[in-house]
Structure formats: structure tokens, C-alpha cells
């Protein structure tokens, strides 16, 4: 069929609808001019075009009257006009659709990205939590391993020394003795035996210590009453003091090698009678005449974490085992407490109570499973060992020592791993006891002071024993000698 001929009004309209279906509803306003132009054109030819098909149209007597070139021209103009009018509309429609799709795509992408970011963030947070848990477990494993290695090392050292150890005694260095009329209730060496501190009544006197010779370099006057405990930190130039004034003080050395009070720990309502410090130096355990044991932990500063109230009278002795997870205490209530910590940053719990026949004055862990106890006015030291089956401590034997009248709980028991020596003040004597390879204890030396008012301590390596006693009113230094 001829492209320009044979179209009825209906055919033409159908062709237009077929070509532009889908966009007509959105662009009706733009078709008004086109419809008007189309109606005008069709009205001009409607009277002449009455045939029904192409053949009738070609044989019609009216054909010569239609002016076909004009119709073709008008039709071409119409098509051209139609194309010109429709093109920007279609472009606009397509652009709008593309823009809408692009915006929707951006929204979808943004939503997906946000969801992915949230999913990733949740995943990372969970991974961090898992890593922290794993890290904490690893730290605990490392701490446990370090403790075991430390114990094995100490046991190896102890075993090696036990094989080769000879009889010994401590001999006084006469030229090192210095007069001290004020009572010295506590004395302690630092880690390298270069500094010595002594609690002389309420004062703390600091001494330089070189090759057995002592020289006073400073006096500290902050305590308001007698100083009963002194403990040096091994990793840092600090020491701790406990007093009858119910306070504990942390002391620090400055750049000029002078000491000053760093922090005061208040919390006890009675005399500070005993104190121990853990290996990591982030835990202080103190016992008091207020019947309590307090656990102090180091954060930015020292603070009280926990208080044990199971004693019914004054706490006299404390000791921490090699693994650093068990405390033994004794006191005026004739009771021994075994206190245990199950893990890092957990509470300490009393796991065993042992009743004894007398006041417990001093107590000391020998290793993780054994401790010794000195009781009031007794000529023996009791040994307690843990049963591996029920994990309970029971008395297994007594060590014969010299004692005499005893009237105070100060001068704590001390065990020196390097030399397998137990230092124990009992009444008027200072007993020096060797732990033998077979586990037996032998008292090697008993130093008589003719007074029960004896106070002192031993250097960590066991080379020096330092004492003050009421009879001589001297600070005396004795040195280890093998026989």
C-alpha cells in the first residue's frame, strides 16, 4: 500500500496510536496542537474520501479533485511537525525516566551500602569482642605459664642449692652496728641491697647500704604513730609502710634520690600489723587489728578492691604463695584462713578455715603447697601441707626451735629460695632453718637476744640479716657464712 495513500481517518489514528502508545497519557497536553492540525487536514478531505479500500480510491471520480501533491506535502509537513513536536517530548520522557531510574539506583545503592556498612560494623564489633576474649584468655594462659616457669625455676634453683648446700651461720659485722635508741619495729632491704629503711617509732629512717656498711641519708616524718610494716617494691624505686595510725603509705624516690609520700591508703580502722605485695606489684594485701584483710589494687592509683571479714580478732600474719593465687593468714582468734583467687580480676574467697590451739603470730608459704606457722610461746614451728586429692591443708609435722617468752607478732617469717632458708623470730630467738632436699627442716642456728623485743628482716638473696633489739638498742647486720 502506498505510504501516503489509502488512509482513512480511523486508519491514520490507529497508526498514530500504535507509534506513540505508552507516552500519550504523559504528553496529552503536547498533543493538543497536533490533534488540531490533524483534524483540520482530515476535515478538508473527508468529503472526497468515501471509498473503503485502495482500489476504490484509485478509481474514484473524485481523485482528480484531491490535489495529491498538496496532501503529500501537508502529510509530510505533518509527519515532520509531528516528529519535531514528539522528539523533545520523548527525549524529556526518556531523560526523566533515566533520571528517576538513576535516582532510584542511587537510593538503592546508598541503602545497600549503608546496610553493608552496618553489617561490616557489627561483624567488626563482634570480631573485636571475640579478639578481646581470646586475648584475655591468652593473657591468663601466659600468666599461668609464667607462674609455672617461675615456680619451676625457683624449684630448680632450690634443688640445685639443696644438693650443694653446706651448714651455715650468720656472723655479726661489728663495724656496721649503729646505736638506735628509738624502737625499730620494722626493717627492710631494697632489691639490690643498696637501700635500707627502718621504722623508728613514727619516723622512717632511710639508709644507704654498701658492703655491709650503713649510712643515714634521710628521715621521713609523715606517719602520726609507730611504723609496724615496711615492704620494698622490687621493680620500682618505691616502698610501702603500715602504721599504728591506721594508714598505709606509698613512698617514691625522686630524681634527687630523695623519698616522698606518693599516696596514702585509708580504710582500716585499726593498727596495720602485717602486709604483703605480689610479684607484679599491682596488689597489696594488708592485715589489721580491726580483724580484716584488705586487698588493694593499682589502677591509676591504689584503691581498696575487697575486704575479708572472716577473722574475729586481730590479724597478725599474712603470706602469699609462689603462684600468687593463695593467701594464708593467722591471728589472735586461733584461726588460719586459706584464701584463694580463681583468676585475674576475680574476688578472693576463703576456701578453708583451720582451728589451732594457740594464737598464730607468724605464717609463711614455703611453696604453693606448704606453709609454716609460729604460735605464741611454742618451741616448735608447725608445717602444713596440701592434700592433692581434696586440696585441703593439714598439719604434717613440727620443726623444733628455740623460743622462750614471746609477746609480739612483728618481724614476719621469711623464706629465702636461693638458700632454702626459713627465717623465723620466736620469742627471744631468731631461728635460721634449712629446708633439705628430702623435704625435712633442720634448725642450723638460733641467735639469742635475751629479749623478745626483736625486729628485723633479711635481704632477698639471704646474704644479710638485719635486726634491732631492745637489749642492745642497736641496728645490727649479720652476714651469711658457710661452714
- pTM of this prediction? 0.67
Q: Pull the grid cell for residue 269.
A: 580502722
Under CATH, to which class is 165-482 assigned? mainly beta
Q: How confident is the model at residue 438 (pLDDT cuts 50, 70, 90)?
A: confident
Q: How confident is the model at residue 120 (pLDDT cuts 50, 70, 90)?
A: confident
Of 97-111, 245-259, 397-411, 415-429, give the lowest mean pLDDT range.
97-111
The kind and range of the H/E element at 293 are strand 293-298
Q: Count CB-CB contacts under 10 A for residue 373.
A: 27
Residue-wise pLDDT for 198-209, tens only, equals: 999 999 999 999
Domain residue ranges of the chain, discontinuous segments joined by +: 1-49+69-164, 165-482
Residue-wise pLDDT for 398-415, tens only, equals: 999 999 888 788 999 999
Could you give the angle at the alpha carbon of 343 between the alpha carbons of 134 and 308, nearest 5°?
150
CA 455 to each of CA 67, 148, 228, 428, 482: distance values in angstroms, whole numbers, following the listed order: 140, 33, 10, 11, 24
Q: Using CA atoms, how far apart are residues 19 and 451, in angstroms rounded to an integer?
A: 125
Q: Which of 331, 240, 340 is closest to 290 using CA atoms?
A: 331
Q: Count CB-CB contacts under 10 A for residue 298.
A: 15
Which residues does residue 253 pair with via DSSP β-bridges, in sequence order?
259
Amino acid at each position: 500500500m502506498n505510504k501516503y495513500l489509502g488512509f482513512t481517518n480511523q486508519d491514520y489514528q490507529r497508526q498514530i496510536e500504535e507509534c506513540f502508545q505508552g507516552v500519550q497519557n504523559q504528553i496529552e497536553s503536547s498533543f493538543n496542537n497536533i490533534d488540531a492540525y490533524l483534524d483540520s487536514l482530515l476535515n478538508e478531505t473527508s468529503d472526497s474520501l468515501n471509498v473503503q479500500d485502495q482500489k476504490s480510491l484509485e478509481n474514484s471520480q473524485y481523485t482528480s479533485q484531491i490535489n495529491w501533491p498538496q496532501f503529500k506535502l501537508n502529510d509530510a509537513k505533518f509527519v515532520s511537525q509531528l516528529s519535531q513536536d514528539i522528539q523533545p517530548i520523548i527525549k524529556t520522557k526518556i531523560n526523566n525516566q533515566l533520571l528517576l531510574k538513576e535516582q532510584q539506583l542511587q537510593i538503592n545503592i546508598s541503602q545497600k551500602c549503608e546496610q553493608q556498612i552496618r553489617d561490616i560494623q557489627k561483624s567488626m564489633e563482634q570480631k573485636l569482642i571475640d579478639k578481646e576474649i581470646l586475648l584475655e584468655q591468652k593473657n591468663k594462659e601466659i600468666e599461668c605459664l609464667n607462674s609455672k616457669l617461675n615456680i619451676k625455676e625457683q624449684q630448680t634453683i632450690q634443688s640445685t642449692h639443696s644438693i650443694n648446700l653446706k651448714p651455715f651461720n650468720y656472723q655479726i659485722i661489728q663495724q656496721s652496728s649503729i646505736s638506735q635508741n628509738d624502737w625499730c619495729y620494722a626493717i627492710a632491704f631494697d632489691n639490690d641491697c643498696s637501700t635500707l629503711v627502718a621504722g623508728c617509732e613514727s619516723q622512717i629512717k632511710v639508709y644507704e647500704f654498701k658492703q655491709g656498711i650503713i649510712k643515714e641519708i634521710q628521715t621521713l616524718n609523715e606517719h602520726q604513730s609507730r611504723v609496724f610494716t615496711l615492704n620494698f617494691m622490687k621493680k620500682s624505686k618505691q616502698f610501702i609502710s603500715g602504721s599504728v595510725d591506721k594508714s598505709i603509705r606509698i613512698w617514691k624516690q625522686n630524681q634527687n634520690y630523695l623519698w616522698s609520700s606518693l599516696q596514702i591508703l585509708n580504710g582500716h580502722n585499726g593498727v596495720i600489723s602485717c602486709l604483703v605485695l605480689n610479684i607484679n606489684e599491682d596488689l597489696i594485701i594488708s592485715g589489721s587489728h580491726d580483724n580484716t584483710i584488705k586487698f588493694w589494687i593499682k589502677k591509676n592509683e591504689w584503691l581498696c578492691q575487697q575486704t575479708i571479714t572472716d577473722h574475729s580478732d586481730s590479724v597478725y600474719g599474712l603470706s602469699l604463695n609462689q603462684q600468687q593465687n593463695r593467701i594464708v593468714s593467722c591471728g589472735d582468734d586461733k584461726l588460719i584462713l586459706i584464701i584463694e583467687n580463681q583468676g585475674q580480676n576475680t574476688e578472693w574467697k576463703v576456701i578453708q578455715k583451720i582451728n589451732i590451739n594457740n594464737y598464730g603470730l607468724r605464717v609463711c608459704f614455703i611453696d604453693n603447697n606448704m606453709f609454716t606457722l609460729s604460735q605464741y610461746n611454742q618451741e616448735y614451728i608447725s608445717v602444713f601441707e596440701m592434700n592433692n586429692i581434696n586440696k585441703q591443708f593439714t598439719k604434717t609435722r613440727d620443726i623444733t626451735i628455740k623460743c622462750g617468752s614471746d609477746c609480739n607478732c612483728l618481724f614476719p617469717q621469711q623464706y629465702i629460695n636461693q638458700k632454702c632458708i626459713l627465717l623465723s623470730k620466736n620469742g627471744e630467738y631468731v631461728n635460721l632453718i634449712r629446708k633439705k632436699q628430702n623435704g625435712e627442716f633442720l634448725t642450723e642456728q638460733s641467735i639469742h637476744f635475751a629479749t623478745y623485743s626483736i625486729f628485723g628482716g633479711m635481704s632477698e638473696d639471704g646474704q644479710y640479716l638485719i635486726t634491732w633489739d631492745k637489749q642492745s638498742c642497736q641496728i645490727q647486720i649479720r652476714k651469711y657464712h658457710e661452714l
